[in-house]
Amino acid sequence: MSQLAFPTYFLSHGGGPWPFMKDQFGGRYDVLEASLQDIPRQLGARPKAVLVVTAHWEGPQFLVSASPNPGMIYDYSGFPAHTYQIQYPAPGAPALAAQVKTLLDAAGHPARLDHERGFDHGTFSALFPIYPEADMPLVQLSLKHGYDALTHIQVGRALASLRQQGVLILGSGLSYHNLRQFGQPGAVASQQFDAWLRQAMALPPAERLAHLLAWDQAPAARQAHPREDHLLPLMVALGAAENEPAQVVYHEDDFFGALAVSSFRFGQAAD
């Protein structure tokens, strides 16, 4: 990380409320958890707030959570009863939400403030290992219907100045997200797409951008992402640090026993 700006991240956030199910999952999430817990060290300083681009929220325009005290959204099913009582009482940041809206409006991507939106599991499951005290102000940003990759990269560009203001930008999704082919049925597709994605991240910025804009031409792209909702947070994180190098900060080849998944940082770590 430079002295002036935090890096940005694309996080493969895992499945459901996994940080609150260690008795059920055992060590299945140990590698992911360790990668998330290491983020404060990589930053080298405490952000003033976090902006989470969540794969679990979308609208006809970009939406920005603006509640000072967000509630909880248990946007999953079939999990143990206690996971529907989880609380992650991090504060909102209405002033940051208003600034995000202003930046997006000025960039030609009109946004709307949502004063009711709570934290979905793409936010609280990813943030709990990073800031377990739930004392970091959080704002969520939605995706936009249509799933246009360039639009989401442009939104990242519009938000890049927040990095110099102490705001950490996290894209929360999953580098493989085909729930009909999870586990062993998705092994080959996930390996092929993840290998392509990691290779694309290592390219110079202009080539990397070209590859991502044509992501659906990648090997097994539509098998890995029948709907690209869990990939688009990557586009925003990239756009906000477009000319900076990418680093793999989490990778497994046996997620749920068979899947290849990865997370990336754009920009340098503090050390």
pLDDT value of position 90: 98
Average pLDDT over residues 108-127: 98
In a domain, 3, yes or no: no
Residues in the chain: 271
When divided into structural domains, the chain yields a total of: 1
Looking up residue 164, the CATH number of its domain turns out to be 3.40.830.10
Average pLDDT over residues 130-138: 98
In a domain, 73, yes or no: yes
In a domain, 217, yes or no: yes
In a domain, 251, yes or no: yes
Whether 248 shows a pLDDT value over 50: the answer reads yes
Task: State the burial class of residue 110 (Cβ atoms within 10 Å of its Cβ: 0-12, 13-18, 19+).
Answer: exposed
- pTM comes to 0.97
- pLDDT tens for 193-228 read 999 999 999 999 999 999 999 999 999 999 999 999
Range of the domain at 178: 8-266
pLDDT value of position 97: 98
Cβ atoms 232, 147 nearer than 8 A: yes
